[in-house]
Amino acid sequence: MRGFLVAALTLAACSAPVAQAQSGDAFEGTWAFQTASYGNEQVGGIMSGAAVITREAPDRYAIRLLANERLVNRDTGQSAFLTARQTCTGENDGGQFTITCQMAEPLEGYEPDTFVLQAGEADQLVGVLSSNNSSQVTFSRMR
């Protein structure tokens, strides 16, 4: 899984213009994210990935997001790895940053993600993945 994350981060970092990192915007840039584990008694999951956030208007953003989800059957130990490419919008409402996604490519059994975030420590956004599963998530600025 680590190899997939490194590849995703490299792809996202290479596709974002350097000027974004220097814009001073609280949300614009390239971000890596990681959730805490989530699931139920039968299946556990964890998600990581990368997001490229571009400001379109005051408090409105276009986002390309690549999510890698690892699911594990708790009884058998069998696992599955899903990679979802999503196009998203971001909206800043008084410091609450909401990311709402749509699938860029269909992926059977995968629903688009939604994140609700706020500023954390330096160069971090913290909050929850609030779509199909609820889990804490941290976005860390890459550039």
Domain extents in the chain: 2-141
Supply the CATH classification number for the domain 2-141: 2.40.128.120
User: pTM for the complete prediction?
Assistant: 0.83
Residue 81 near residue 67 (C-beta atoms within 8 A): no
Per-residue pLDDT of the chain (143 residues), as tens digits, is: 444 444 444 444 444 443 334 467 999 999 999 999 999 999 999 999 999 999 999 999 999 999 999 999 999 999 999 999 999 999 999 999 999 999 999 999 899 999 999 999 889 999 999 987 789 999 999 98
| Cα–Cα distance measured from residue 31 to residue 22, given in angstroms and rounded to the nearest whole number | 14
Q: Which two tokens stand for residue 40?
A: 């139920």
- Terminal Cα-to-Cα distance of the chain (whole angstroms): 22
Angle at 47 between CA 21 and CA 117, to 5 degrees: 50
| Cα–Cα distance measured from residue 122 to residue 116, given in angstroms and rounded to the nearest whole number | 18
